[in-house]
Structure 1
Amino acid sequence: MSKFERIIPGTINIENSEVLYISDSGNDDFNDSLFYKVTSQFDNQPIAQSGGVVNENCKLWLPTNELFNCLSYKGDVEGWRKEITQGAKILDLITGKIVCDKIELSDNRTYLLSDCKIEFY
């Protein structure tokens, strides 16, 4: 791997940090729209007590051509996981996590990463 190649977020465990992929229609800019919607559902009473969440600037397309964007979070990992998954559920979005060489989705589907298209931006 050259020094310019990026690793797919979630394929390497980083202590006190996790990664989730969020389904995205691709109709709007993720940073300006969906990222904010997913992460701000509980602004009045936040679940996460510390840390933060960032866009990993990584898009993943399933073999079905469904698009997912990647978020990572650290600090209160359990709180952020709950906040993001519940925010996604409120918005009727699917979440996914990387487990070994697969992405496992909240709707119980699983795909090999090698069958998915990855784009860093």
Structure 2
Amino acid sequence: MKRPTTHMENVLGSKIAQPDELEIPGSEEFDSDRVLYFSVKKGQSARALFQRILNFSDPPNAQSGGAHEGGCLIETTTSEIFCAVRFRGDLVGWRKDIEQGAAAVGSELARIENGNLVTFDGRSFSLTECTIEFT
């Protein structure tokens, strides 16, 4: 059964995803939007680390588009935490900026592939065994 549109959705002109409707960023690939995950140490601010990663390249490699936090944290079975970053526009430039920034701050990168969180060093964690938090 389709849920009724809320007053706020009518005002905004679009649906607001409910908690049971949220999708893990990167689990479905879109042409205009890409997602990577960067590791965050326990107690470390994901937002502050995100800013350090994106501001590392000076001048930036990306010439168009933008990047933002993906609103999702994934905790693996080994208690590692990964935070989503979405980027669009100059995909090659943004990916290079994110990779260089993550390397500079000692953050590991990962991506979603076939229902798994796969780190760039090849480790794989089934998303069904991970703890997912939408922020």
Scaled by the length of structure 1, what TM-score is found?
0.92
Counterpart code for 1:26: K
Shift of 1:113: 1.0
1:99 equivalent in structure 2: 113
Corresponding position: 1:71 with 2:85: yes
CA distance in 2, matches of 1:65, 1:112: 13
Which runs of structure 2 are paired with 1:1-121 in the superposition (5 Å)? 4=18, 5-31=21-47, 33-42=48-57, 44-121=58-135
CA distance in 1, matches of 2:36, 2:71: 12
Runs of 4+ in 1 over 3 A off after TM superposition: none
Q: Deviations over 1:16-73 (max 9, x none)?
A: 2110010001323322x1011010001x311011000010111100010111111000
CA distance in 2, matches of 1:106, 1:93: 11
Percent identity between the two aligned chains: 32
CA distance in 2, matches of 1:62, 1:106: 15
Counterpart code for 1:25: K
Scaled by the length of structure 2, what TM-score is found?
0.83
**Structure 1 residue runs without a partner (length 5+):** none
Bigger RCO of structures 1 and 2 (CA < 8 A, at least 6 apart): 1
Where 1:74 maps in the other structure, the secondary structure is strand
Shift of 1:13: 0.9
- Aligned residue pair count: 119
Please identify which structure carries the higher strand content: 1
Counterpart code for 2:54: T
Counterpart code for 1:54: H
Which deviates more from structure 2 when the two are superposed, residues 104-113 or residues 72-81?
104-113
Computed over aligned residues only, the root mean square deviation of the Cα atoms, in angstroms, reads 1.6
Shift of 1:86: 1.3
